[in-house]
Chain A
Amino acid sequence: GAVVSQHPSWVICKSGTSVKIECRSLDFQATTMFWYRQFPKQSLMLMATSNEGSKATYEQGVEKDKFLINHASLTLSTLTVTSAHPEDSSFYICSASETGRGYSPLHFGNGTRLTVT
């Protein structure tokens, strides 16, 4: 149980275009989902906390206009990288914790490798 599906697993796009990444909790509901970015050989860096039905909370230094987050339902959050540039190339990972289970862990998707050319 507690499976998080992230799609696509990799994407290559041209500079200036936008890319959407989907994160779904398959067998549980998630009021809150989290988006992370991971640079090579580094740990997870929290970008934003996504809240179902309300605005996302962004970490300091993360541009909310570049990284648009929508949490449309209790099982789906999306991250859109707008006007992507090569410096946005990275590994993006989403995660979720089961709603109503305040002691449960985060469950992670398998990540999306974004390459901007």
Chain B
Amino acid sequence: EDQVTQSPEALRLQEGESSSLNCSYTVSGLRGLFWYRQDPGKGPEFLFTLYSAGEEKEKERLKATLTKKESFLHITAPKPEDSATYLCAVRLRYNFNKFYFGSGTKLNVKP
């Protein structure tokens, strides 16, 4: 069964304390893995697309990596404005109108 699992559910960091969020996936075929940031009361904002194992993407303090089973979102020296819920999603290779979302990691960065 196609499935996406994110961990941890919630993460509290001090400003400047680097960490990683995990997205594990079990799918019949991966077309793409996507990371989003969602602020309260807003729609998810697209961050990254990863297509194949070994690929990495960076944007400011965020770096996303992909293996054959999971993806990590690394946050380096986070700031309070990085506080948000981070979602990952996969798009299936054999049914490209199917997107599976994880339940998200709620990140809280304290000053």
Residues of chain A whose beta carbon lies under 8 Å from any beta carbon of chain B: 2, 4, 6, 32, 34, 42-44, 49, 91, 93, 95, 102-111, 113
Contacts and interface: CB of A to CB of B under 8 A. Distances in A.
20 contacts: A2-B46, A4-B43, A32-B97, A44-B101, A93-B43, A95-B44, A103-B49, A103-B51, A104-B32, A105-B34, A105-B46, A105-B89, A106-B34, A106-B99, A107-B46, A108-B36, A109-B43, A110-B42, A110-B43, A111-B42
Nearest to B106: A41
B7 to A, nearest CB: 13
B31 A43 contact: no
A49 B95 CA distance: 13
B96 A102 contact: yes
B64 interface: no
Contacts of A113: 41
A41 B30 CA distance: 28
A113 B97 CA distance: 26
A106 B97 CA distance: 10
A91 B44 CA distance: 12
Q: How large is the interface on B (under 10, 10 to 19, 20 to 34, 35 or more residues)?
A: 20 to 34
Contacts of B96: 102
Given A43-B87, A93-B43, A113-B41, A103 B99 contact: no
Contacts, number: 52
A43 B43 contact: no
A105 B36 CA distance: 10
Nearest to B44: A108
A106 B87 CA distance: 12
Nearest to B85: A43
Interface string B48-83: 010100000000000000000000000000000000
Give the one of B44, B87, B96 with max A CB within 10 A.
Answer: B44
A24 B101 CA distance: 22
Nearest to A51: B97
Nearest to A10: B41
